[in-house]
Structures are given as C-alpha cells and as structure tokens.
Structure 1
C-alpha cells in the first residue's frame, strides 16, 4: 500500500507542475502490459500524443485505480466494461478499444466444458480476479458460492494460473487472450486447456471521470486520427502474435517462487 501511495503522490505532484493525462490500470496483457506496453496502452498514449498532450501511466490494482479515479487523483482507467462505466458513474468517449469474454480454463486431462451458468454447478472451485465485472448472471453465481476464489494484488491472474496448476482451483475465468499470454510467460501453456466461453463478448472502453469530458473528447479525436494515418492498425498488428516466454526477468523471478516443482 505504501508503494501505491508513493506512485499516487508522484502523479499528483506531476499534475501540479504540468498537465499530463494521468492514466492507471492493472496488468492485463496483451491489452495492458509492463513497461507501458500493450495495445490499449499504446493506442491511448498515441491518441493523446498525436495532439501534443503528454500522458503519465502507472500500474496499480484495478479496484484501487477505480477508487483513485473517483478521488480525481487520476484521470482515466483502461479497459472497462459498460457496466463498470455505469456503476462508477464514468464517461467512455463512445470509443470501443477491444472486447472481453468470460473464457474458462482447466488443467489438461480434465473434461469439464462451460457453455451455460448451470455447467458451473459441478465444479469444485472457480477462480476469478477481484473487482472485475463478469456479467449479471456469472457475477451472481460467483458471489453466491463461498468456494469462489477472488484473487487480488499486482498479478492476480498469474497467481490464479499457478494455483490452478497446483490443484487449488478446478477452473479459472478470464479473457482468453490474457490467460494464454500470461500462461506463456509462466511457461505453463501446455498444462492449461480451454474449456469454453459463457455469454457474449462485451466491449471495452477507456473510462474517464466526470471532470474529464474534454479529455474524453480529445481521446476520441485522437483515435480517429490514428485510424486515418494508419498507426491504429499498426499498433493492433503488433499484438496479434503472443510471445512464448516473458522477457521481463524481474516479474518472472517474482513469480518463480510460486511455481510448482514440476515446472523447474
């Protein structure tokens, strides 16, 4: 918590001396990655930079980001669903920057499949990331079952994958692209199995506070400019192929201590 406080104080200090757009999110690669990478991060930054507006981006947990947005310590949070926009009384610039789906993964060798909420009734424990919206029906099921595990922290999905491999959960739920990307960073892709999707994909937006109508409009204008000059598609194309192994040694070292013996 002290680390997050220092980050936020630095953002406030920067805002006092200049006027950068202050944006935060948790890691959700390939949408939002470390070192200001990820296609949503790059699109958002370039949408402002192409108009001469600087951007400061920091990584903090999702729920904390929403709280700081409400407090006006930051200006925007990336990759929010329409329900998150509405529930937190935000604005979204009417720009879709991607889609999210509720995809289910088990260990290789399991035979469970998930196409409806009822399919979850036979599972021992589902693991999700705390603070996220999974749709009305799935949220209701998850909250009604005390065995549901809600992960939090800086790398909640990575920890859910590791816990799945260790046998702590029977299924994890998240976006397919994000699960496969994170599993590849952990060298655990071969141990996971796609087991289905429940519901339809939902659009993702950049959420701005009510004090940021002008910035939301600037973001929308910037996206149109990037589409017109070809940069938009160039950035999207960069993230079509997921890397098989992480090059971020610090993150890998941090996660390595949690990996089971079978991966060493």
Structure 2
C-alpha cells in the first residue's frame, strides 16, 4: 500500500509539474543527446529545485535563438551576451560556462594560429549563429573563404570537412571539438593549432516576456540552490569541466 501511494504521488508530480521548454544544438559535453551534458543537467536540476520540469529539444542553434526571440520557446542554452542583445532575450546573467575560440586543422597541416592576420588566405569552417567574439566575428564577416555549417550536428560536418582536407581550419571550443572528434573517430585526423586565449561567458537566454522574466529569476534561484547543496560542483566534476 505504501509503495502504491509513493508511485501515485510521483505520477501526480509529473502530471501537475510546470514545464519549461528549452532548446539548443548538440554541443557535447555542454549539451549532449539523451538529455545529458553538463549545461542540460545544470538547467534541469536548477529548475527541479524550484519544482519546474525541463523539456529539452535539440534544434539548430540559429533556429533555437529565433524561436526563443519569437516567444515560441521558453529558453535557449549556452548563449553569449551578444546573442542576448542581438535577439532581445531575457537573462539573469548567471554564467553557466565559458567559451574559447580554438583552432584545428587537418593533421597534415603545420599552420599555427598567431593573430587574425594568420587566418588570411585560409578556408575557415564555422557554425551558423555562433558568436566568436567581436574581433573574430568582424573578421569572418569580411573573409571571403568562409564556410558556415548548420543543422543539428554542424561540428561533425566541420570535422568531416577537415579530415577530407576540404577546409584549412575550423574554429570552435577545445572541450567540444576534442569530445566530438573522439566520438566520431576523427581524433587522429585533426590537430590543435592554437587558441585565441579569450574566454566568453555563456548563459541561458529566456524569451523576453513576463514568463521568460519569471523563469530567468527562478533559474538564478535554482542555481544558488544547487551550489548550496553541492550538486552544482558534482555536475561539473562528472563532466570534468572547470570555469
């Protein structure tokens, strides 16, 4: 009888729990498939601590940004301050990670990043909708040899292009590139070629309406709950993330 009551209570919680719908593209170990990834887990657990259930949807990043700005999604994960401004999103500016611009080439290349000038004449692969910082964004806008990929697994596409020597280099985050390359068996076909050595904070961007403002506030409260309980650091440690 006691077991039955517990099951009924659990069913009642999930039926009646408020649900927030968040989205982003796959960017493991930040955002992975099957509701995993440290940003996904932080978001889920933070909202769970204030009795809100999170439904995560995998979407191309540009589409997730657009739908959130149109109030068709509640939030988009792993955005920068530039995204928040450009798409008029709501945010509490609680950082959930950081991003660096790192450079990778095909394994047979000896090119090394030294400055923006060193990118001249190189065919560069990036991802549509990503923010690479003011300086690099401006450079890429005026760079003719530039491939922008999209879809639900754009980094996989860029890695494939590098392994086939169809691009000179790709730009991304070292955590993500190393993880994804290992996942798809590309690790031995690419090489790390330096970093811009600038860190950009990442946030959760919420729709800019009353509901979004409320969720932003509740998320800040939830993150504080996780920090006080120790679960925040436990999630970071599970994914070997430090920031």
Tell me, yes or no, whether TM beats 0.5. yes
Residue of structure 2 in register with 1:32 after alignment: 31
TM-score normalized by the length of structure 2: 0.89
Residue 208 (1) aligns with residue 206 (2): yes
**Which deviates the most, 137-146 or 42-51?**
137-146
Residue of structure 2 in register with 1:65 after alignment: 64
Q: Which runs of 4+ in 1 moved over 2 A?
A: none
TM-score normalized by the length of structure 1: 0.82
Give 1:129's match in structure 2, choosing from 122, 127, 132.
127
Residue of structure 1 in register with 2:103 after alignment: 104
Tell me how far 1:146 sits from its aligned partner. Answer: 2.2
In 2, the alpha carbon distance for the partners of 1:161 and 1:232 equals 31
Residue of structure 2 in register with 1:191 after alignment: 189
Residue of structure 2 in register with 1:218 after alignment: 218
Give 2:179's match in structure 1, choosing from 178, 181, 186.
181
Deviations 1:64-118 (A, max 9, x none): 1011112211111000011111111112212100000110001223211113111
Give 1:150's match in structure 2, choosing from 144, 148, 151.
148
Residue of structure 2 in register with 1:261 after alignment: none
In 2, the alpha carbon distance for the partners of 1:115 and 1:229 equals 43
Residue of structure 1 in register with 2:88 after alignment: 89
In 2, the alpha carbon distance for the partners of 1:153 and 1:127 equals 14
Does the 8 A contact of 2:124 with 2:147 survive in 1? yes
Cα RMSD, aligned residues only: 1.4
In 1, the alpha carbon distance for the partners of 2:116 and 2:129 equals 20
Distance 1:199 1:83, change over 3 A: farther
How many residue pairs match? The answer is: 224
Tell me how far 1:122 sits from its aligned partner. Answer: 4.1
- Structure 1: gaps spanning 5 or more residues: 1-16, 242-264
Tell me how far 1:18 sits from its aligned partner. Answer: 7.1
In 2, the alpha carbon distance for the partners of 1:115 and 1:220 equals 38
Residue 169 (1) aligns with residue 170 (2): no
Deviations 1:161-184 (A, max 9, x none): 001100110100001111001100
Does the 8 A contact of 1:117 with 1:198 survive in 2? no
For the residue of structure 2 that corresponds to 1:36, the secondary structure is coil
For the residue of structure 2 that corresponds to 1:55, the secondary structure is strand
- Structure 2: gaps spanning 5 or more residues: 1-15
For the residue of structure 1 that corresponds to 2:185, the secondary structure is coil
Give 2:136's match in structure 1, choosing from 124, 135, 138.
138
Does the 8 A contact of 1:25 with 1:60 survive in 2? yes
Which has the larger Rg? 2
Does the 8 A contact of 1:92 with 1:207 survive in 2? yes
Deviations 1:26-71 (A, max 9, x none): 1010000001100000000100011111111100100110111122
